């Protein structure tokens, strides 16, 4: 953890804020995306976890005079699935918009990303979901990246962490009701906590 903190401080000293780096860890949820967004978050598959590293490039700051920043991002994830199941790796590429909310000398952000996800195998949670509905599975699916965070540097008063954010994230894979590879129910939702820095 100390090494990660030192890296975040080093990145923030560069202070160009054109690039971002995010480290996240999460668990698979038994709820679908709609249920999670309305507050049902407590039911987890404890053996199914994900560890992610995402990097981004700022395409537009305060897009057309608004409170939105837009990034092009890509990520690598490692899904662990419990005893007797292989680890699965994921690559994502997506556009992500952050709505910046400045208040009380701090900044919060609501983020929404849309793109593509490819996994090296079929995730156990996706296989279970598909089987219960008699549906298909796919390595290649739509990807949503939904997040909320706050500026930890401003909150803590540590200037070198000014562009460091701490937050929560939903990693969502789906076939968009059958539009991608005829997958209607074989998707997954992973709830994460993360640290992200702009540099």
Q: What global pTM score does this model have?
A: 0.87
Please give the pLDDT value at position 69. Answer: 95
Task: Give the residue numbers spanning the domain of 101.
Answer: 2-198
Please give the pLDDT value at position 42. Answer: 78
Tell me the CATH number at 146.
2.40.160.20
User: Going residue by residue through the chain (199 aa), what tens digit of pLDDT does each one get?
Assistant: 555 555 555 554 445 579 999 999 999 998 989 899 998 887 888 789 999 999 999 999 887 878 899 999 999 999 998 777 889 999 999 999 999 999 888 899 999 999 999 999 999 888 888 887 777 788 999 999 999 999 998 888 787 888 999 999 999 999 988 888 888 877 899 999 999 999 8
- String of DSSP letters for the chain: -HHHHHHHHHHHHH---SEEEEEEEEEEESS-HHHHHTT----EEEEEEEEEEEEEEEEESSGGGSSEEEEEEEEEEEEE--TT---EEEEEEEEEEEEEEEETTEEEEEEEEEEEEEESS--HHHHHHHHHHT----SEEEEEEEEEEEEHHHHHT-GGGTTEEEEEEEEEEE-TTTTTTT-SS--EEEEEEEEEEE-
Please give the pLDDT value at position 6. Answer: 53
Please give the pLDDT value at position 167. Answer: 97
Number of structural domains found in the chain: 1
Please give the pLDDT value at position 2. Answer: 54
């Amino acid at each position: 953890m100390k090494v990660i903190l030192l890296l975040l401080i080093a990145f923030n000293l560069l202070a160009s804020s054109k690039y971002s780096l995010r480290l996240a860890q999460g668990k698979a949820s038994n709820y679908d995306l709609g249920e999670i967004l309305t507050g049902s978050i407590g039911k987890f598959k404890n053996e199914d976890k994900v560890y992610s590293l995402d990097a981004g490039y700022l395409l537009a700051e305060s897009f057309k005079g608004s409170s939105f920043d837009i990034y092009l991002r890509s990520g690598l994830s490692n899904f662990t699935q419990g005893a007797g199941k292989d680890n699965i790796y994921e690559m994502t590429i997506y556009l992500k918009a952050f709505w910046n909310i400045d208040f009380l000398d701090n900044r919060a952000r609501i983020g929404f990303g849309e793109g593509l996800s490819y996994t090296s195998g079929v995730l156990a949670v996706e296989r279970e979901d598909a089987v219960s509905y008699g549906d298909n599975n796919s390595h290649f699916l739509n990807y949503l990246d939904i997040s909320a965070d706050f500026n930890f540097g401003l909150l803590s008063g540590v200037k070198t962490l000014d562009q460091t954010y701490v937050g929560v994230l939903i990693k969502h894979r789906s076939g968009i009701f059958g539009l991608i590879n005829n997958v209607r129910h074989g998707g997954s939702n992973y709830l994460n906590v993360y640290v992200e820095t702009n540099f």
